[in-house]
Amino acid sequence: MQRLALPAWAAPAAPSPADDSGLRLRLTAFRFSLNSRFSAQRLGGLLDDLLGLELGLSGLQAAADRITAFYRQQGYFLALAFVPAQDIADGVVEITVLEGRLGQVRLDNQSGIADAIVRGRLAPLQPGQPLAADTLERSLLLINSLAGAQVQSTLTPGASVGTSDLDIRVDALPRTAVSIGLDNYGNRFSGAWRAHAALSVNSPLDSGDALSLQTTRAGPLFQHARLAYQWPLGQHGLQVGAAGSAMAYRLGHGFAALQAHGRADIASVYALWPWLSARNLNVKLQVNVEHKRLADRTDSVNSASDKTVDALILGGSGDRVDGLGGSGASSWSLSLTNGRLRLDAPAAAGADTGQRTGGRFAKLSWLAARQQQLPVLGADWSLWAQFSGQASLPQPATGDAARNLDSSEKFSLGGAQGVRAYPQGEAPADDAWLATIELRRALGSAWQLSGFVDTAMGRPSHTAAAPDDANLRRLSGVGLGSSYVQPGGLSWGATVAWRTSGPPRSDHDRSPRLWSSLQQQF
């Protein structure tokens, strides 16, 4: 989540009202001056209940304060309404509204990104116009979203009454970032312990673009690499990108005699647009076109399976910070995948006669999460909850019934990101949900302890020949966790989990099951 504070600014105070002991008058109407964002009729409607009353000077200023509060509720955080010195006739009182207009916009760009790209994101900030918080926040966040840029801003009094000048400084983040890591999040048969390395390059073309390379290796059994490039397009926050990845595996341990191995190559292009960008609310929309080539071989029986998947993925994601229950943050994502699986080898087509995965498919995937502070327990306590899953859907274009999904499109119930009491990849399912709840306590700024409950349910096949009870998996577990995070440096995490449902089917039973990860950033 991106968080950005508004520039520090103290709005000018309204003139202090005089003593009420003298003047009192019966109001018949209000008139307004210097207002442009809202009509006199709209503003007057906020004060209709005061007409016919006798008010002193403090009462008149209270009426002006209502107008100030209304403007600020609408996002004009610099607005100020007051009762100017005037000759009052026939009970008509004038209220002047300083709408908080923008004066000069001064840019100090030290990021190395071209000035034209940065200034393009400031285009909605028009000098002479009332300054709205949402317009300011969006412009600053769009600058901050440029790879390699970090923005700071300050508001100062402008040259004329009721105006404010905006000073923006854009600093450069380090050109490169490197991280290495180690975890045991892999599958035992293709390498449980995995080493990671990642390289990110900020703005290699001085345009706010980003280049990233990630690699993962689990000895001789598993290798994965992903290369991605993303660049900004236009001045409204649109980002477009392309990515390619390659994965190769070989089964070992109890399956080594099968001489089973394979690879997956994925290419994608995508576009990402920030529909809403604000301090406390962000919503992004994304479209992704993806092509997969999947190949599996079992040399011991001379078997080959080749498949291709082409998919269009439409999605959205967002986050929101609020004051509910003290304070909390919510995040979510939702995506709709519409694709087609082609079986390129006779063996693959023959194996598919039972599962019926070939052809067009559709699925809906979701995730919702909430981090809630628990002040009743203390400032260091919080609750984390997450609900995720997917469902195979009927074809939106043809109306064909929902179908079974290929193994590459399934949702795994068990593992380090699932029910943690079960091995990685346990219980892949077409239709599934996963729920997690964690009670967390921070120990200082770096350490955290947690206790958690995981539970999940899924159908391995959307449509199965077996009875329903044989086509349903339920997993659950409880556990404890600990983590250490040093921003920009070392991070470590570990969990230990005990299953509270039946034993795993994909690997040996271990209870408790331990997961651990270590990462160092440079």
The percentage of the chain sitting over the pLDDT mark of 70, rounded to a whole number, equals 92
Q: How far apart are CA 46 and CA 181, in angstroms?
A: 60
**pLDDT tens for each residue of 218-233:** 999 999 999 999 999 9
What is the secondary structure of 86-151 as a DSSP string?
---BTTEEEEEEE--EEEEEEEEE-SSS-HHHHHHTTTT--TTSBPPHHHHHHHHHHHHTSTTEEE
**pLDDT tens for each residue of 283-321:** 999 999 999 999 999 999 999 999 999 999 999 999 999
Q: What pLDDT is attached to residue 348?
A: 52
Does domain 101-172 sit in CATH 1.10.10.10? no
Convert 55-84 to b/e letters by CB count within 10 Å (16 or more is b).
bbbebbbebbeebbebbbeebbbbbbbbbe
Cβ 115 vs Cβ 149: under 8 Å: no
- CA within 13 Å, CB half, 392: 23
Any idea of the CA torsion for 70, 75, 76, 81, to the nearest 10 degrees? 10
What is the secondary structure of 311-349 as a DSSP string?
EEEEEEEEEEEE-GGG-EEEEEEEEEEEEEEEE-SHHHH
User: In the numeric block, which tokens belong to residue 219?
Assistant: 């000895």
Q: What pLDDT is attached to residue 254?
A: 81
Q: Quick one: DSSP state of residue 458?
A: E
Does the pTM surpass 0.75? The reply is yes
Q: Where exactly are the structural domains of the chain?
A: 25-98, 101-172
Share the mean pLDDT of the chain. 93
Cβ 200 vs Cβ 212: under 8 Å: yes
Environment class of 401 (CB within 10 Å of its CB; exposed 0-12, middle 13-18, buried 19+):
exposed
Are 25-98 and 101-172 equal in CATH topology?
A: yes
Q: Quick one: DSSP state of residue 188?
A: G
pLDDT higher than threshold 60 for residue 171 = yes
Fold of 25-98: Ubiquitin-like (UB roll) (3.10.20)
Reported as a pLDDT band with limits 50, 70 and 90, residue 470 is confident
**pLDDT tens for each residue of 92-138:** 999 999 999 999 999 999 999 999 999 999 999 999 999 999 999 99
Helix (H, G, I), strand (E, B) or coil at 511: coil
Any idea of the CA torsion for 74, 75, 80, 82, to the nearest 10 degrees? 10
